[in-house]
Every structure is written in C-alpha cells, then in structure tokens.
Chain A
Amino acid sequence: MKQIQILLVEDDPVITEFLRTGLGYEGYAVSVVDTGNDALNIIRDTTFHLIILDIMLPDMDGFTVCRRIRNRELKIPILMLTVRKEVADRIKGLDSGADDYLTKPFSFNELLARIRALLRRAGNIRESTRIIQGTLVLDTNRREVRRNGRQIELTPTEFNLLKLLIRHPGRVFTRETLLNRVLGYDYDGGTNVVDVHINHLRQKLRDRPPILIRTVYGVGYAFHPDET
C-alpha cells in the first residue's frame, strides 16, 4: 500500500511537533513547512494527497494560500486549522477553497476522522471495510469477524481491540495504549482489564500456536497473521 502524503503548513512548533508525530504514527508521511510561500513552492514539485493549513501564517494568511492553490487548478483536499470560531470565518475559509475547517483546540481523533473522510471523498483511498489477515476476516461495516468462514461473536470492546491489532500487524501495543484507544482516554481503571479482554478474545478465536495475538513480555501485545 502506498503511503499517503500530507503537507502540514503550520508555524507553531509545538502543534507541528505533535501533528507530525501523531500523523506519523497513523501511517501518514508528513512534510512540514511554516510559511505560505514555502507551501506554494513545495506543492509545485511534490504531489500531496492532503494539505493541513493553518490560517495564521507569518507571511500571508491561510485564505490567500488556499486561493492561490485553487488558482493553479489543484484539487488537493485542504483542511483548515484556526482559532477563529465565528461563522463568517468558516464561510470565508470554505469559500476560499478549503474542503473542511477545524477550530483549535481540536481533538486529534476528530482530525484523523476528518482526514480519512477527505481522503475518501477525493478517492485517494478506497478504504476497504474488510480486513483480511491470514485465516481471519474482519468486516468493520457489519462488525462481523470470521475465522475460516466460521462467524465469531464478539463484544464491542473485543471487536475494537481486535480491529486495532489487526490493522497494524506486527506492531507491539502497550497495555496503556490499548486501554487508551479502546476504552478511551478518561478510563480510570487499571491495565489488567486489557489482559481480561485479550484472554476472552483468544478463547473466542480459538487461538492456538502459532498464536495470533502474542504476548510481548514486559511490554504488551502484538498481532501476527497466520499463514493461509
């Protein structure tokens, strides 16, 4: 699968840092520029699938950058970031050619969802609802899991846990990360609950060696697909 290229136009170092890191973790390739002119220059030579554009830039505002990109008849999806919440500003942003508009401080999850939606609309990725790894098939639309054609009944938490693991085969997730991403950031319980869910999952999947959900001692869990 080819990597999605995202151009981030933002001059605040901390926001740049977490976006670069966070989007990198989600599997996107991120390039960063901090001025409007740099942004206009870089898109001349490089093809991006999406641009995340801050409105307050040192040399020109985001609206101008957006209009200049559209004047070049480039149809790259543009997501605007701004602290201004007023309807007039949103209208101005969308009218200057942006495809979507997000106000600071935004939720990173929402940003990811909007990025996926924009990419889907632009036809850059046909996000398959079916994930096939070895003998395991997971359908995110029907929320259905089959192994060797046999349907397995899972609770929503177990389903989300499996979905996260199966999407990143081989990657080791710590218990904390799994807890945060499946049960939410504000879940206050201990990490033991993750072990309980993993155990249930393993039983329902009839996970026997070579095991699908492997324990990485002292760290967490990782998914390894079996051979078909």
Chain B
Amino acid sequence: MHLPAGKISLTAKLVFLYATLLISSVLLVSYYSYWNIWQLFITNKTSHIRARAKPVIEHWLQDQKITDPTSMAKKISRRNLLPLARDLTSKDTVAIILNKQGDIIASGKRLSEEPTPPPPNLKYVGKALAGDNEVTYWSKVNDKAILVFLIPLRLQPDSSTIFGAIQMSTSLADIDQILLRNGSMQISAVAIVLCGGVLLGYLLIRYSLRDLHSLTDTCREIAKGDFSRKPKITRRGDEIGHLARSFNLMINQLEKMFDSQKRFSANAAHELLTPLTGLRGSIEVLLRGAQDNPEVLNRLNKGMYKEVNRLIRICDQLLAVSKLENSCHVEKQKIKIHSFMKDFIQQAQLLARNQTVQLLQGPSLTLIADPDLLEQILLNLLSNAVRYSPANSTISIGWKSLGQTAEIWLADQGYGMDEKTLTHLFEPFYRGSSACKSETKGAGLGLTLTRTMVEAQEGSIHVNSSSGRGTTVSFTIPLASR
C-alpha cells in the first residue's frame, strides 16, 4: 500500500501507540519493584541491627550490675559506656552514645575502615529521648547514604526513665551494590521484553490490518471498473469482516445501478439507430437516382419526415426521464380528489377516440401530490388505454382509500396483454407485440416515465391484465394526514 508522502500509516501509528504504552507500563512496574525491594532491604536491615543490639545492651546492664535508676545514672560516663559502644559497632555499623542533653559521650569507631558516624541530629535525638523506640532516618556523610536509627537507653525496655540514646548508623553500600546489580539485570530484561513486545505487536497489527490492505487493493480495482473483484474476507467476524460485507453489499448495489444505466443507454442507442437507418437508406436511395421520380421523392420524403419526428419524440422522452431521475421537482400540495378528478375527466373525454370514459366516484379524500405530475400520470395511462382499446368500449377511472394511501385505478376493456409483456412492461424501450403494429410508434418510455413519476410521489404502480380481457392499472398516492 502506498501512502501520500508525509502521511503515517495506520500500522505505524498503532505500533507507536502500543510501544509507548508498553514502555511506560514496564517502566512503572520496574520502578515500583525497585522501590519495593529497597524498602524490604531497609526494613530487614533495621530490624536485624535492632535485634542484634538488644542482647548487647542487656549484657552491658548486667555487666555493670545496674539494677535501679540511681545506680544507672552513676554509670553514665565515657569509661562505662565505651565498651557498650564498641560492642555495638561492627564492620558496617557504628554506634555512638549520647547523654540526655544530646552530647556525645562515647563513640564506637576505632578502626579507620569503620564508617564515620554522622553528627547527631537533635530533632531525632529529642524524639528518641522522649521515648520513641523506632526513630529511623536518612543522613548523608561524604555524599554516601547512611541509615541512622536511635535506641533510647533505659533500664527496662518499658521503663519511662531514659538516661540517653544510642545512635547507630550503617552504610547502605551493600544494598546499593545489590540493587545496582539487580537494576542492570532488570534493565536488560526490560529491554528484551520491550523489543520482543514491540516486534510481536508490530507483527500482530500487520496481520490484523493485512485484510484492510487487500480491501484497499480491491477498491482500487473496482474504481478501474472491474466489478468482478469482490473482497474475499467476508467470513471474518470482526469489524474488518463487517466492513468487507458492507462493502460487498455496496458493490452489488452499484453494479446493479451501473448495469441498468448501461442497459438504458444501449437501448436508447438501439432506439435511435432504427430511425437513423431509415433516414440514411432513404437519402442514399434518393441520391442514387430515385430523386428524379417526383412520386418516389415525395414518398421517401414523407417517410423521412416521420422518422425525424420519431427521433424528436425519443429525445424528448429521454430528456424527460433523465430530468425526472436527476432532479425531482416535485411540488406537493393538498389535492381534493373529487374536484381534481372531475376536471380531469373533462380532458379525458376529449382524448378518447370512440371510447366512453366514465368516472366512478370514490370516498372523499385529500391527497398529498404534485398536481401536474398526477395529471401527467393519468394522461399517460389514459392514452395507453385509448390506444389499445377497441371503439365503443368503456374506460373507467375510480379510486378508493387504503388507509394511509389512496389507490387510483384506470380500467379498459381493451386487448390486454400476455404475461411476457406484463413482466417487461415498465422496462425502458420495451414494447408489447401489439404496440409494434400500432400506427404511432412511441419510444417505449411512456410507462417507465409514468412509474418514475408515481415513485417520485412515494407511490407504487401495479398492472393487472390478461390477453383479451382488458387492463387495469392502479397506483397509490399518499393521503394528507388529518
């Protein structure tokens, strides 16, 4: 499929959207999991160190033989507390002991590889001295993250008398290292997942849209005029299958219209060719010498005159048909059927040759129709009835109500027509066998025109006839709603 320059294909758009969604969701998930793991590590480490500190403090209390607050207060000195700070200090954790004023009494750091403890933060120290057992916070020493937590120093874990606080600080270098390794692993995994996901998505989208491409190609073929090409994906149950089916329906409808248009113009050409043959032949015969005989000249001239008139009639009717089909100038208004028919019957009596035209009055109705078109319909039907009825027969016109519509009928006692004629009756240019014998040849468009006029007023037309038994034509016209 070729798109105009500068346009992005639907596949590219969908893949882009899909990739964006995929990347953002993967990033969100990995960030959340990273944070979760970090939290887990911290909690783990904190509880581990606290758990380790508890027996060390109890041991120190026993060692110093402290049993009551008074003896406890005496023991708060650098000499007594230094062993405790040393015991609490390990390779990555340093303890310092603060007195009730927040001053450092003893520091556990002795070796250079042990991390430097951060200076006490009085805000947190105050909290710990007030009895909070769980004070934990972040600090930074030499741009390295340090986790600091404070343990109040007291005789019993639940005693309210606090003599000082132990600040334990631990570097998070090990956690950082683990997370870094884990993070790089996670990044490569995310990259693989993303690449795979985007590729898979691209293939999936392409596969789903493949039928759309074939539909486009089919469209293009049809645009070139090849109606035999139909989309073959109509069995798909999804939207594209639905589109293909609607498309097929449209093509069939178009093809039908196209065919009828083609048939109409082919028929029109045939109709025009017959009088042209007469004209051309007559002129040729005249030029070859027949013009020297005045009697023959006159005869052929009369024939040519008839043919020219026939051509004009055909052209008139063709124009009328196309005018009516292209822009239906229907100006509907309310029509009282009684007075309308009364007027019409006066005209009808003038048109009849030797036949009697009678009006059979029906119920009083009000129609919604274009009076000019309605009159033309009736005149067309009447002239047909007159043409195909013997002298001294009766042509009746009447109407009845069908609820929402009125049915107007016109019945003659004429020659009628066989079934074959009846089925082709409304086809343009079709003429029954008896019509071929009739003196004034029409173009065979009268009834086509009549039907178009009836349908332009939202009515329908029906013919009832059998050979030798006359013909009844009836058509419907909508009634005015009361």
Contact = CB atoms under 8 A, between A and B. Distances in A.
Contacts of B306: 13-14
B188 interface: no
Nearest to B285: A22
B422 interface: no
B281 interface: yes
Contacts of A12: 274, 277-278
B290 interface: yes
Given A14-B304, A21-B285, A83 B274 contact: yes
B335 to A, nearest CB: 40
A174 B289 contact: yes
Given A22-B281, A58-B433, A59-B433, A105 B273 contact: yes
B419 interface: no
A25 B276 contact: no
Contacts of B296: 21
B436 A25 contact: no
B303 A25 contact: no
Given A15-B274, A58-B437, A25 B281 contact: no
Contact of B281 (A11, A18, A58, A176): A18
A176 B293 CA distance: 13
Interface string B271-297: 001111111111011011111100010
Nearest to A171: B289
A185 B287 contact: yes
Interface residues of B, number: 29
Contacts of A44: none
Contacts, number: 99
Nearest to A185: B287
A13 B284 CA distance: 17
B255 interface: no
B229 interface: no
Interface string A7-31: 0000111110111011001000000
Interface in B285-320: 285, 287-292, 296, 299-300, 303-304, 306-307
A219 B293 CA distance: 12
B270 interface: yes
Which residue, of A14, A173, A176, has the highest number of chain B Cβ atoms within 10 A? A14
A108 B284 contact: yes
A179 B289 CA distance: 10
A11 B436 contact: yes
A84 interface: yes
A105 B291 contact: no
Nearest to A81: B277
Contacts of B307: 14
27 contacts: A12-B278, A13-B306, A14-B275, A14-B303, A14-B306, A14-B307, A15-B274, A15-B281, A17-B300, A17-B303, A18-B278, A18-B303, A21-B290, A21-B300, A22-B285, A25-B289, A83-B273, A105-B279, A106-B277, A106-B281, A108-B280, A174-B292, A176-B292, A177-B291, A180-B288, A181-B287, A219-B292
